Amino acid sequence: MDVSKIENLPPPPGIISSIKAGFDVVASHITAILLPLLLNLFMWLGPRLRMDALFDSIKDDVVSLWQTGGIPLEEIQLILEWYDRTIPNVNLFWFLRTLPIGISSLLLPKGTLDTPLGDPAIWQVGAPGLFGWTFLLTFLGWVGGALYYRSVAWVVLTDKAQVAGVFSAILQSILISFLSNFLMMALLFPVMFLLFLTAQFSVFLTNLFVLFLCLAAMWIIVPIFFWPLGVFMKKQNVFTSMLSSIQLTRFT
């Protein structure tokens, strides 16, 4: 297929002019940042959904299993120290911020910092609810991201007929999110295996391989970043939008 025939791309805009245009649009349509504002307020002032109680309930059994498997006590201690620093600070509501389509948010907060409303509520999740909460929050993140991207497209486009419908935007967003995450996971396992193999031979080869991965990743990450553009701006389906994204990142 001749990708260049999918659409005629305009000349790429300048960085400064793009940033200025974005600020002008937000200043004249303040509702465009309503969803990110609500999400950030919820992350800051809302409850924390934790899983440290679940991990604490199985910690002793896991440590016993490691000791039986012959793992040195020093390594077990390092793992437990990492656990004490990390797991109690994990907020499962972070799954509401999905990629590549999701509601924009600020950096994720750490710990149970005080808020103007006092200490936030702490909700603990059990083993059965962990996967349910993860699926539910991820799905809500996809839906919220679709609505957010559509609202931005509605503000930006002068021809409202080009804006994707609500149902179509949600469906295409779920497909893009699922396919992009599946693609990243499918690439992750062979890459980690090759990284492990190179580490067995030479540190130099490992560093060279990592450098190659960083360069090659740009050919994958950038098209994924622009993948939703055709869906929300031109009513394209998932696959046509993917080809448009490849064309955009290839020629600009």
Does residue 34 form part of some domain? no
Encode pLDDT of 132-190 as tens digits: 999 999 999 999 999 999 999 998 888 888 888 899 999 999 999 999 989 888 888 88
| Predicted local confidence at residue 111, as pLDDT | 52
Residue 233 domain boundaries? 159-252
| Predicted local confidence at residue 6, as pLDDT | 47
| Predicted local confidence at residue 248, as pLDDT | 78
| Predicted local confidence at residue 160, as pLDDT | 85
Does residue 234 form part of some domain? yes
Does residue 163 form part of some domain? yes
Rounded Cα distance between 127 and 45, Å, is 26
Answer whether 108's CB lies under 8 Å from 101's CB. no
* Cα–chain center distance at 217: 16
Q: Say whether 49 sits in a helix, a strand or coil.
A: strand
- Could you tell me which of 92, 94, 98, 65 has the C-alpha nearest to residue 79? 65
| Predicted local confidence at residue 118, as pLDDT | 82
Does residue 220 form part of some domain? yes
Does residue 78 form part of some domain? no
Does residue 57 form part of some domain? no
Does residue 71 form part of some domain? no
Rounded Cα distance between 224 and 30, Å, is 27
Does residue 215 form part of some domain? yes
Distances (CA, A) of 208 to 188, 191, 202, 218: 18, 13, 10, 16
Count of structural domains within the chain: 1
- Under-70 pLDDT residues of the chain: 1-13, 107-113, 251-252
